[in-house]
Amino acid sequence: MRKFLALIFILALIIIPSASFSASMPQITSVGVIGNEHISSEYILHVAEIRAGDIVSRDKIQADISAIYNQGYFSYVDVDLRPEGGGVSVMFSVQENPIIDSINFSGNTLYSTESLMKEVFSSVGSVFNRNFFRNDLDRIQTKYHSDGYVMVRISDVQIEGGNIYVTILEPHVRDIIIQGNTKTKTYVIRREIKIKDGDIFNVVHFRHDLGKLQGLGYFEDVNVGFDVPEEDDGIVDLILTVKEKKTASIGINLAYGTESGMSGGLTYSDTNLGGRGINFEIGFNEGDEASYWTTLSSPYMDAKTFGWRVGARYLKYDDRYYYHGGRRQFEFDEKSLTIFAGFGKKFSNEDWSWFLTLKREDVKYDDIKNAIPGYTDELTPWDGVNQTVELAFTWDKRNPYSSYTEGFVWDTTFEQAVKALGGEYSYLKYWTQARFYASLNKILEGFADTEGPWTDDNPLLFAARLRIGSSTEDELPAFARYSLGGMNTLRGYNSRSFEGSNMYLGNFELRVPVADAVSLVGFYDIGNADDKFDWSNYHDDYGMGVRVKTPFGNLRIDYAHGEDENRTYFGFGEMF
pLDDT at res. 447: 66
Q: Report angle CA 544, 546, 549 to the nearest 5 degrees.
A: 160
430 shares a domain with 498 = yes
Distance CA 497, CA 326 (A): 5
Same domain, 20 and 134: no
Say what the pLDDT of residue 13 is.
46
Q: Which of 244, 279, 305 is the last residue of a domain?
A: 244
Mark which of 34, 63, 96 sits at the end of a domain.
96
- CATH number, domain at 53? 3.10.20.310
pLDDT of residue 261: 56
Q: Within this chain, do residues 486 and 435 fall inside the same structural domain, yes or no?
A: yes
| pLDDT at residue 9 in the model | 45
Please tell me the chain's helix, strand, coil percentages from 3-state DSSP, rounded to the nearest 5: 15, 50, 35
Phi then psi for residue 328, to 5 deg, are: -70, 135
pLDDT at residue 412, as a whole number: 98
- Among 43, 66, 96, the domain-final residue is 96
DSSP letters, 136-186, are: HHHHHHHHHHHTT-TT-EEEEEEEETTEEEEEEE-PEEEEEEEES-SSS-H
Q: Are 281 and 359 contained in the same domain?
A: yes
Range of the domain at 149: 102-169
Same-domain check for residues 501 and 456: yes
pLDDT of residue 295: 98
Do 18 and 62 share a domain, yes or no? yes
Shared domain check, 362 and 298: yes
Beta bridge partners of 284: 266, 292
> In the prediction, which pLDDT does 497 show?
87
* Predicted local confidence at residue 7, as pLDDT: 42
Q: How many domains does the chain have?
A: 4
The pair phi, psi for residue 15, each rounded to 5°, is -85, -45
Mean pLDDT per 10-residue run, the chain (576 residues)?
Answer: 42 42 74 95 94 92 96 95 91 96 96 95 95 96 94 94 96 94 95 91 89 88 90 90 93 63 84 96 86 96 95 90 82 94 95 97 92 89 93 93 86 95 93 96 70 80 97 90 92 88 97 92 96 88 94 84 88 85
Is 459 within 8 Å of 440 (Cβ atoms)? yes
By three-state DSSP, how is residue 267 classified? Answer: strand
> Rounded to the nearest 5°, which phi and psi values hold at 22?
-60, -35
Q: What's the CA gap between 436 and 399, in Å, rounded?
A: 12
Q: Are residues 478 and 502 in the same domain?
A: yes
Same domain, 367 and 299: yes
Q: Are residues 179 and 259 in the same domain?
A: no
- Sheet holding 235-244: strands in order across? 172-179, 235-244, 219-227
Residues 51 and 196 in one domain: no
368 plus 488 within the same structural domain: yes
Residue closest to 387 by CA, chosen among 411, 346, 357, 366: 357
